[in-house]
Amino acid sequence: MLPYSALLAAEGEAQNPLLPAIYDIVWSIIPFALVLLLFWRVILPRLQKVLDERSNAIEGGIEDAQSAQKEAQEALEKYTKLLADARDEAASIRDEARSEGQSILKEMREQAEADAERIAQNAQAQIEAERQAALVSLRKEVGSLALDLAGAVVRDQLGQDKKAKAVVDSMLADLESPKKKAAAKKPATRKSTK
């Protein structure tokens, strides 16, 4: 058997080198159809399944990322709110502590002033008591000195206590009356100078 091309050459017709022979086309279409059918039925569904799984995984990852982002946003808002509440609470505690501190200081000042006033009154009372005791002691001494002086000057002994006491009291009254008159005159002069 002669090849087809030889037959064609023998017939005298010229064959196009770009066009294959008909039997080559037929025999090439059958394996191509089988490969295409195999590809269409087996490989494409598997490839589609892998692509769908990948697509679902990506979409699931995106959904997870979006839900994680929402949760993170909610956590951030919650944290921000808690932080603001904590700042407000800290400010209120600080203000309360300041007011308590001021009230404690005020109470301490009042107590210190009351203690100072009480101490001053006690000191004044003690001074007054000591002054009275000094006056009584001074009167006795002045009285006894006056009696000794009167006894020495007059050379007369005063033997009776009642008489001696009356003399001392009148002498002290005489001594105090000029002081009272001088004290009464001093404020009058002060007023006139102002």
Domain of 130 in residue numbering reads as: 4-153
Query: Does 183 reside within a domain?
Result: no
* Percent of the chain residues topping a pLDDT of 90: 45
Question: Measured between alpha carbons, how far is 78 from 37 in angstroms, rounded to an integer?
Answer: 59
Query: Does 98 reside within a domain?
Result: yes
Q: Can you tell me whether residue 194 is helix, strand or coil? A: coil
Query: Does 53 reside within a domain?
Result: yes
pTM: 0.36
Is 70 exceeded by the pLDDT of residue 121? yes
**What's the confidence (pLDDT) of residue 192?**
47
Query: Does 160 reside within a domain?
Result: no
CB half-sphere exposure, 115, CA atoms < 13 A: 6
Tell me which of 80 and 19 has the higher pLDDT: 80
Question: Over the stretch 104-117, which tens digit does the pLDDT of each residue have?
Answer: 999 999 999 999 99
Q: Are 140 and 118 within 8 A, CB to CB?
A: no
- The two tokens of residue 162 are 């009642």
Query: Does 177 reside within a domain?
Result: no
Question: Over the stretch 6-56, which tens digit does the pLDDT of each residue have?
Answer: 555 555 456 777 888 888 888 999 999 999 999 999 999 999 999 999 999
For 14-163, list the strands marked E by DSSP: none
Tell me which of 178 and 102 has the higher pLDDT: 102
Q: Cα–Cα–Cα angle for 11, 12, 15, nearest 5°?
A: 100
Question: Measured between alpha carbons, how far is 82 from 12 in angstroms, rounded to an integer?
Answer: 99
- Highest-confidence range of 24-28, 45-49, 135-139, 154-158, by mean pLDDT? 45-49
First to last CA, the chain: 163
Report DSSP state, residue 39.
I
Question: Measured between alpha carbons, how far is 191 from 78 in angstroms, rounded to an integer?
Answer: 78
Cα 90 → chain centroid: 4
What domain count does the chain have?
Answer: 1
Question: Measured between alpha carbons, how far is 67 from 76 in angstroms, rounded to an integer?
Answer: 14
Q: Are 188 and 181 within 8 A, CB to CB?
A: no
